Amino acid sequence: MKSIIVTGGAGFIGSNFVHWVLDNKPDTQVTVLDALTYAGNRENLLGCDEARMRFVHGDICDVDLVDGLFAEADACVHFAAESHNDNSIADPSPFLRTNVQGTFTLLEAARKHGTRFHHISTDEVYGDLALDDPKRFTEESPYRPSSPYSSTKAASDHLVRAWYRTYGVPVTLSNCSNNYGPRQHIEKFIPRQITNILSGLRPKLYGDGRNVRDWIHVDDHSSAVWTILENGALGETYLIGADGERSNIDVLRSILEVMGRGADDFDWVKDRPGHDRRYAIDSSKLRRDLGWSPEHTNFDEGLRQTIQWYIDNESWWRSEKEATEAKYAASAQ
């Protein structure tokens, strides 16, 4: 992989992936294609070796721009998306455009140029599990998305699979669990609570707080994606996860403890409509077939480092805080 396009490379996971590639794969050139929506930040790419990273400010729905970039690249790793469930409930329309129409635009370019295409998706396409269910999601789990966000991600997965089966586009897909780490937008659960505490606001917990998410450090997501890009079987889906199931209230109490606050120093707020109860990933296919394993499996340590990153980088998030909280206040969350 000498030359790759990374869509959404100025967002949370995409930018961490770009840094990971530049640090670990010295022969690879990266072209970032990103529209810099509210979730994208050019600063996320500061420190990248500019001789090996080109930034293109543009939209994945722009057919001519996408065509030109695909004409020159060996592969595309497609992270760009509208990614936040709560936003998708308030206004689904940009999710349809970017997640569905945008993925279609990229697939058509991959078809024309025969470009290797890796699609980044989410465990949320499989719906949710009961808290007491011993099962975890596998590649065979039925699609059962609950939210406008996850249904558009499911739609994009189906497009990618169809472009493989019908046109033979050389694709792979991965569906990953909840990521945490530096540079995650402060609308998301962990950074929202950290930056609330740093702003003198009380953290906010939805519903009964018992919903479970399966946390993975963003650098483990990056290493898994690279492994699939290099060695994955074409047409195949791989689930990515690191056995990190935790209830939201447990995660919040860990944040409160590390930040020196009391265990009950938070507010219970209105639940998310359609709120998925539990996600849990069985990643044995990826581990068995491709030999991948996660490195950052100490969640408490990863959480401490993440909290420290938000303390050290207040200028990165401060200007977004008021507007983000105003959006939540409008839905009593």
Residues found near ligand TDX in the complex (CB under 6 A): 83-85, 122, 124, 178, 188-189, 192, 204-206, 211, 213, 248, 272
Instruction: Tell me the one-letter amino acid at 19.
Output: H
Residue 16 or residue 196: which is nearer to ligand NAD going by CB? 16
124 is catalytic: yes
Instruction: Please name the residue that has the structure tokens 């020159």.
Output: 72
Residue 116 binding partner per list ligand NAD, ligand TDX, none, with a CB distance cut-off of 5 to 8 Å that depends on partner kind: none
Residue 278 binding partner per list ligand TDX, ligand NAD, none, with a CB distance cut-off of 5 to 8 Å that depends on partner kind: none
- What tokens appear for 306 in the block? 């993440």
Residue 205 binding partner per list ligand NAD, ligand TDX, none, with a CB distance cut-off of 5 to 8 Å that depends on partner kind: ligand TDX
| Closest approach of ligand TDX to the CB of residue 216, in Å | 10
The pair phi, psi for residue 109, each rounded to 5°, is -70, -40
Residue 191 or residue 203: which is nearer to ligand NAD going by CB? 191
Instruction: Tell me the one-letter amino acid at 178.
Output: N
Residue 8 or residue 58: which is nearer to ligand TDX going by CB? 8
- Asked if residue 52 lies in contact with residue 31, where contact means CB atoms within 8 angstroms, the answer is no
Neighbours of 172 (CB within 10 A): 22
320 is catalytic: no
Residue 40 binding partner per list ligand TDX, ligand NAD, none, with a CB distance cut-off of 5 to 8 Å that depends on partner kind: ligand NAD
Given the residues 59, 123, 219, 220, the one annotated as active site = 123
Residue 156 binding partner per list ligand NAD, ligand TDX, none, with a CB distance cut-off of 5 to 8 Å that depends on partner kind: none
Residue 19 or residue 213: which is nearer to ligand TDX going by CB? 213
- What tokens appear for 195 in the block? 């930056």
Given the residues 34, 108, 124, 325, the one annotated as active site = 124
Residue 116 or residue 221: which is nearer to ligand TDX going by CB? 221
123 is catalytic: yes
Neighbouring residues of 264: CB distance < 8 A, sequence distance ≥ 6: none
| Closest approach of ligand TDX to the CB of residue 180, in Å | 9
DSSP state of 160: H
* Alpha helix segments (H runs only) across 126-247: 148-167, 189-198, 218-231
| Closest approach of ligand TDX to the CB of residue 66, in Å | 22
List Cβ<8 Å contacts ≥24 apart for 190-193.
190/251, 190/255, 190/303, 190/306, 191/306, 191/310, 191/317, 192/324, 193/252, 193/255, 193/266
Catalytic positions are: 123-124, 149
